[in-house]
Amino acid sequence: MASVTIYDVAARAGVSIKTVSRVMNKEPNVRPAMRDRVLEAANALDYSPNLSARSLAGSITGKASAAPTI
């Protein structure tokens, strides 16, 4: 059986993947009712974050690179 993803949690809760991400990362500006809805969906699906994907996402520097002008 395939692992449950953030997409599955979002679909079950009826929210965007960004909302699920905000809840999982404990970011502010998520209404308590919405947070509860996402957490209930995650629990129902037995969701656990993919630690490999999380470590990759954490290594992004946020720096943009530009091609040199010739």
- Residue ranges making up the domain that contains 21: 6-50
Q: What CATH number is associated with residue 19?
A: 1.10.260.40
Q: Are 11 and 38 in contact (CB under 8 A)?
A: no
Q: Does 16 have pLDDT greater than 60?
A: yes
Is residue 45 in some structural domain?
Answer: yes
Q: Between 11 and 52, whose confidence is greater?
A: 11
Put simply, whether the predicted model's pTM sits higher than 0.75 gets the answer no
Burial 34-57 (b: 16+ CB within 10 A, else e): eeebbbebbeeeebeeeeeeeeee
Q: Is residue 39 part of a domain?
A: yes
Query: Tens digits of per-residue pLDDT, 22-50?
Result: 999 999 999 999 999 999 999 999 998 87
Instruction: Please state the rounded mean pLDDT for residues 9-34.
Output: 95
Joined together, the tokens standing for residue 59 give 């290594």
pLDDT surpassing 70 at residue 59: no
Which secondary-structure segment (H or E) carries 20? helix 17-24
How confident is residue 67, by pLDDT bands cut at 50, 70 and 90?
A: low
Dist CA 27 CA 21 (whole Å): 8
Q: How many domains are contained in the chain?
A: 1
